[in-house]
Amino acid sequence: MSILPKKNELGFYEIRLESIGGLGANLAGKMLAEAGVLGLGLNGSNFSSYGSEKKGSPVKSFVRFCEPDTEIRVHSPIEEPHVVGVFHEALYKMVDVVSGLRPDGILLVNSTRDFDDIKKDLHLMHGTLAIVDALSIAVEEKTKVNTAMLGALYRIIDFLDPEAMKKVIRKTFEKKYPHLVEPNIRTFERGYNDVQFKTYAPAEGAQGKEFKRPMPLLGYETQEIGGVITAQANSILKDLSGSRQGFLPQFNQQECINCAACDTACPDYCFVWEEGEDKRGRKQMFLKGIDYQYCKGCLKCVEACPTTALSELREMIGYAEENQVKHNYPYVTGGIS
């Protein structure tokens, strides 16, 4: 008798993990596949897809399970998963994380928000939505988000054995990082116990979320002569807020001495300055605030600040939008001809 609750036409149960670099989705996929293969005797495969290995860039990790008598001869990315795990909820700004999810599929999101808000933002029509505050668990246990997400995944994928994953966690950390074994076990257990569910029943004949493969806007037939950058300063149109890993710098203007140490350390030109006069009437540049559109949450500015003007803050929904000080780019907005 099969222990897999569902299978696609090829006999696979498929899981796709959506994340950004630095949250450990690649390792989570490896550990998940290893626990299913060694712990349950299933056939399984895992691989990841990402660009440059750096924090903040989109990452996908794929896991396939099937019965022991079924061979895995497919190594293409998973387009119609049964389960999607979203390690960073703001990722939907850059990636269609629910693309291809089946109508009865399960979506797990690392978030503190309520179900209906997430459903609206991700354009989820039906299926089971699961939420776990993996970031808070990881911060409190001094571990990473991936272990808490694994715990939640083991709760929603009920054929998996949690004890098998605990063995994999011990095997993964005990040689190089023995001091991290117990914190990661606790993180896994808290993710398993804290996850919450809500099911949106699909209507009769409902279709899954259609998978759309992202295609480049310019190719060998459509690229203009001279290169691919078609607009000057096109990077200023990008929103890097989806790259933050849960923290951002908080600015306290009363404590700022306008030394520009933060601006020197910032890799993305996030700080907004304005010209003014000091108490003696001398011209000086004063820090006005932070344009969070370009802030990736690296917190290098907090480390560089010699005062308490900049501090680390756990990102809250709406905080960046309410406290953002926008840059003025007149050439882009049409203010200068």
SS3 content of the chain, % helix, strand, coil (to 5): 30, 20, 45
The per-residue pLDDT for 209 is: 66
292 inside domain = yes
Q: Which of 271, 219, 274, 234 is nearest to 249 (CA)?
A: 271
30 inside domain = yes
Q: Which of 158, 174, 200 is where one domain is finished? A: 200
Q: CATH code at 162?
A: 3.40.920.10
Tell whether 196 and 249 lie within a shared domain: no
Three-state SS string across 96-128, please?
A: CCCCCCCCCCEEEEECCCCHHHHHHHCCCCCEE
Tell whether 74 and 138 lie within a shared domain: yes
317 inside domain = yes
180 inside domain = yes
**Burial readout 169-207 (b: 16 or more C-beta within 10 A, e: otherwise):** beebbeeeeeebbebbbbbbbbbbebbeeeeeebeeeee
The per-residue pLDDT for 1 is: 42
218 inside domain = no
Tell whether 114 and 158 lie within a shared domain: yes
Cα angle 146, 148, 150; round to 5: 70
Q: Which of 177, 200, 223 is where one domain is finished? A: 200
Tell whether 239 and 195 lie within a shared domain: no
Tell whether 195 and 149 lie within a shared domain: yes
* Residue 172: CA count within 13 A, CB half-sphere: 20
- Helical spans, DSSP H, in the chain: 25-34, 40, 115-121, 134-141, 145-156, 162-173, 181-194, 261-265, 300-304, 319-323, 330-333
Which are the contacts of 178, defined by CB distance < 8 A and separation ≥ 6?
none
Tell whether 101 and 245 lie within a shared domain: no
With beta carbons less than 8 A apart as the criterion, state whether 49 and 59 touch. Answer: yes
With beta carbons less than 8 A apart as the criterion, state whether 15 and 63 touch. Answer: yes
Which amino acid type is present at position 96?
Answer: D
Tell whether 122 and 246 lie within a shared domain: no
Full pLDDT tens readout for the chain, 337 residues: 468 888 888 999 999 999 988 888 999 999 999 988 988 889 999 999 887 666 778 889 999 999 999 889 888 999 999 999 999 888 887 788 888 888 888 999 999 888 988 888 888 888 889 999 999 999 899 999 999 999 999 998 888 888 889 998 998 888 888 899 999 999 999 999 999 989 887 767 666 667 777 766 667 777 766 655 555 556 677 788 877 888 899 999 999 999 999 999 998 889 999 999 888 888 999 999 999 998 988 899 999 999 999 999 988 878 999 999 998 877 665 544 4
Tell whether 75 and 124 lie within a shared domain: yes
Structural domain count, the chain: 2
The per-residue pLDDT for 337 is: 47
Q: CATH code at 263?
A: 3.30.70.20
229 inside domain = no
Tell whether 193 and 240 lie within a shared domain: no
Tell whether 171 and 240 lie within a shared domain: no
Tell whether 78 and 186 lie within a shared domain: yes
Question: Cα 112 to the chain's mean position, in Å?
Answer: 14
Tell whether 179 and 319 lie within a shared domain: no
Q: State the residue range of the domain holding 244.
A: 234-323
214 inside domain = no
Instruction: Pull the structure tokens for residue 42.
Output: 């299933």
Residue holding tokens 């979203």?
A: 86
333 inside domain = no
Q: Which of 175, 200, 225 is where one domain is finished? A: 200
